[in-house]
Amino acid sequence: MTYRTRNIAIAVGLGLTAMVLTLVYVTSYRRSVQHAQATVSVYVAAHDIPAGASGSDLARTHAFKTITVPRHAVVPGAISNPAQIASLVLAQPLFAGDQVSAQRFSSVHAEGIRGQIKGTMRAVQVPGDANQLLAGTLQAGDKIDLVANMRPDPSIQQPQTKIILRNLTVLDAPSQTPVVTAGSSATAFVILAVSDQQVERLFYVLKNADWTFELRPAFAAKDGPVRIESGLTILHGGAH
């Protein structure tokens, strides 16, 4: 092969290579454009939704609807299934037509106590001494009953004891027994989740009775029959 023939062959080879690379680039670019222009289904808010709503409630009440948008218009974190945010709470408000993105939600733990109450539930801070509040034992997530000893009516001479509220959820509890200093009492506090009706009974007991919390079993807790105890029922009743 002469020098001239070899140079021609090299030039032809380079030309063919360039042609192949160009075809590959054009084909790839065309596919990427077609991919970007393709439409996909996304979830959007069906109406304005305030921050604090739980993902499970939003899915249950059909707060979302699906629409079709170009693929390039999909926002980062857009969900493909409401189950993806079922255990989360909405950290930022959603307005009607906004795409539902997981980035607008946060975990219940991150939201703190506000993320653990909804509907008719309320958070109430209850002060008391270490024994009343089971300080050092009680933990967030525990279930408790409220026991009260009181005179329900001025005509009743003997105080009566009853479990007033059952199965209350502890949202926050003292991590350890309060330290008693000279001239002070061992006061701590517990934050409970109660309904807007239970809070009336709770407040009455706190202001008018001697009371204490009792810790319920973590699993398979059961409730005995409702009883009202007094000095007479204790003295004349059988052992239980």
- Summarised one tens digit per residue, pLDDT across range 129-188 is 989 999 889 988 899 999 999 877 776 677 889 999 999 999 988 766 655 554 545 578
pLDDT value of position 100: 92
136 CA to centre of own chain: 25
Pairing of strands 121-129, 160-172: unpaired
Lowest mean pLDDT among 125-129, 154-158, 215-219: 154-158
The pTM of the whole model exceeds 0.85: no
Q: How far apart are CA 34 and CA 70, in angstroms?
A: 10
166 torsion bin: left (phi>0), alpha (psi -120 to 50), beta (else): beta
Tokens representing residue 193 in the block: 């989740």
Count Cβ neighbours within 10 Å for each residue of 211-223 and write b for 16 or more, e otherwise.
Answer: bbbeebeeeeeee
- The per-residue pLDDT for 179 is 52
More confident call, 102 vs 117: 102
Model pLDDT, residue 106: 84
Kind of pairing, strands 121-129 and 187-195?
antiparallel
Reported as a single tens digit per residue, the pLDDT across 189-212 is 999 999 999 999 999 999 999 999
Q: Which of 78, 72, 99, 233 is nearest to 161 (CA)?
A: 233
Token reading at 135? 């300080």
Residues sharing a CB contact under 8 Å with residue 231, sequence separation 6 or more, in sequence order:
158
Which of left, alpha, beta for 85 (phi over 0: left; psi -120 to 50: alpha)?
A: alpha
Res 46: pLDDT? 92
pLDDT value of residue 132: 92
In order, the DSSP letters of 148-211 are EEE-SSTT--S-EEEEEEEEEEEEE--SSPPPP-TT---EEEEEEEEETTHHHHHHHHHHHSEE
Span 17-36, average pLDDT: 65
pLDDT for 230 equals 75
pLDDT of residue 36 exceeding 60: no
Q: Which domains are present in the chain?
A: 39-112 (3.90.1210.10), 119-218+228-234 (no CATH)
